[in-house]
Structure 1
């Protein structure tokens, strides 16, 4: 055998040896160890709750423990980066909120490239956001809020984080309506709801998922929803569009992400398992009961959805000169 052919065969043998461990790892997934869902916002918020609903069902389906870890900060960037820094073996995933689609335009120096370094697994669903006020508030309707804000009474509103869709939706509203409002960012829906029900912030803007339990308990009064149509869970609550802002439509969303280095076959298997979980009546009822319209679908559909979110909200960030706080 000539030297060139020897080198070629040696190279092919090395490639085969390198591929063998990877094939073994992908073939026995998820038997080797627990699967981690990293919730990128604090306990008590919608990301945490969605993660725990999924984890319980996935544990049953996979025959493997699925644990939830909260890694919070920087509107989800810290938790997402932790997932990308983990071994790309398909055992670590990020559960993210709508901030994921805003962060690229808001934080140009993030420690990862959202499009290149991440493999979207699935978009779980979307939901309206609710503008609410404490039960004892002077604001009885959304019209009261608009009148006060137009009358130069600067009103504070709390969001689930700087750069979140709740923040950007209100920024659009303030700009279009010529309103005076001050943004108070929180580190997730849990902390926001604690201050909202305690009356420490006049307005809260968060998903139906995280707000509705406090509406049901009469501690918060809903004033408006941010989707084009009224929310089925809150049929008596008007939309922002009905209140003088035609075509106003902004909705929260939740997704599951993996590192782009995770083998595609594992990403697709995880996608299959989550789609199955969303079809379980009890799981679908829990999520729908909190205002989430389920999406599911393929990793490719998730990628297309998130790309559109990145493009849409980049325009809003630029137009409103929004900076990270």
Structure 2
């Protein structure tokens, strides 16, 4: 399993937990290797160079098939060359605000930004799901927001705590580590419904951005030429692993919501994601590294 990001992040944690269980089910130890860089494309290029026998896996997300739109210089076609076979876990994202921001709810923040347009928000980086979530939020709420892409979640959070950045869009698990001690405010979760991990946090839709949904998730991918019989087996075994009580408990403990779907359901979900995010990317001219 080649993980396109650094150790310790949400993708890495989900992959390691599920791959450990998957290896036990298959009687085949699975080595997890981190290969970060170039917006996940270094890892994907390595997977596509490997023998298409199902023994080399990687992780993707709901927007993996849109990578060529986010980076026109790719040497491969993500939508055609990578097959997304099974979801791993959904990742609730939240909008946080520094304590100096005079708003405790999304409704109050909307009023404040309309009186003070151009407020900045940070994300773990350009062209990340968090960045797309911010662009969608600004568009749907009719707000002027300025994006600042950081190199990861931690520096964005630290700048919010330090008063150097008013807003940030980060993962729920990261936010809750600090919010409980009052170091910043959590204004809302970006999913269509409240997260089971923090049911007391309202959705941004409840806060006044009607219909807003910026959920995202991690999944398992293989190269396009892997035989269907292998793809089907991997889907079944990954789904089985995600139903294991210990796996579910471990994932939820780190702020990840286990996620399963049939192959047909999952392909419909991916199609819906492409339809939702493609116009957002095009309208915002969102590019990796910009």
Aligned match of 1:167 in 120, 123, 131? 131
Match of 2:272 in 1: 308
Aligned match of 1:258 in 201, 222, 226? 222
Aligned match of 1:112 in 76, 89, 93? 76
Match of 1:126 in 2: 90
Question: Conserved in 2, the CA contact under 8 Å of 1:45 and 1:189?
Answer: no
Match of 1:20 in 2: none
Which segment drifts farther, 60-69 or 295-304? Answer: 295-304
In the alignment, is residue 70 of structure 1 matched against residue 34 of structure 2?
Answer: yes
Which segment drifts farther, 303-312 or 189-198? Answer: 189-198
Shift of 1:221: 2.8
Shift of 1:224: 0.9
1:70-109 equivalences in 2 (<5 Å): 70-109=34-73
- Structure 1 residues 68-98: Cα deviation after superposition (integer angstroms, max 9, x where no partner): 2222233322222221122223221111234
Shift of the 49–105 alpha-carbon distance from structure 1 to 2, 3 Å rule, reads same
Question: Conserved in 2, the CA contact under 8 Å of 1:129 and 1:225?
Answer: yes
Shift of the 164–266 alpha-carbon distance from structure 1 to 2, 3 Å rule, reads same
Question: Conserved in 2, the CA contact under 8 Å of 1:76 and 1:99?
Answer: no
Match of 1:287 in 2: 251
TM-score normalised by the chain length of structure 2 = 0.86
In the alignment, is residue 145 of structure 1 matched against residue 145 of structure 2?
Answer: no
Shift of 1:122: 0.4
Shift of the 289–216 alpha-carbon distance from structure 1 to 2, 3 Å rule, reads farther
Match of 1:228 in 2: 192
Match of 2:206 in 1: 242
Match of 2:150 in 1: 186
SS at 1:149's partner residue? helix
Q: Distance in 2 between matches of 1:125 and 1:155?
A: 31
Question: Conserved in 1, the CA contact under 8 Å of 2:120 and 2:166?
Answer: yes
Shift of the 177–126 alpha-carbon distance from structure 1 to 2, 3 Å rule, reads same
Match of 2:23 in 1: 59
Which segment drifts farther, 298-307 or 220-229? Answer: 298-307
Shift of 1:281: 0.3
Which structure would you say has the larger Rg?
1
TM-score normalised by the chain length of structure 1 = 0.77
Runs of 5+ consecutive residues of structure 2 not aligned to the other structure: none
- Structure 1 residues 180-224: Cα deviation after superposition (integer angstroms, max 9, x where no partner): 322122344455456555655332212324433343455443111
Q: Report how many aligned residue pairs link the two structures.
A: 289
Shift of the 62–196 alpha-carbon distance from structure 1 to 2, 3 Å rule, reads farther
Q: Distance in 2 between matches of 1:171 and 1:214?
A: 25
Shift of the 176–153 alpha-carbon distance from structure 1 to 2, 3 Å rule, reads same
1:197-216 equivalences in 2 (<5 Å): 200-216=164-180
SS at 2:126's partner residue? coil
Shift of the 45–133 alpha-carbon distance from structure 1 to 2, 3 Å rule, reads farther
SS at 2:57's partner residue? strand
Which segment drifts farther, 58-67 or 192-201? Answer: 192-201
Shift of 1:225: 1.1
Q: Distance in 1 between matches of 2:281 and 2:201?
A: 28
Which segment drifts farther, 187-196 or 242-251? Answer: 187-196
- Structure 1 residues 127-160: Cα deviation after superposition (integer angstroms, max 9, x where no partner): 4321113567665433443333222353221223
Q: Distance in 1 between matches of 2:271 and 2:208?
A: 30
Shift of the 56–318 alpha-carbon distance from structure 1 to 2, 3 Å rule, reads same
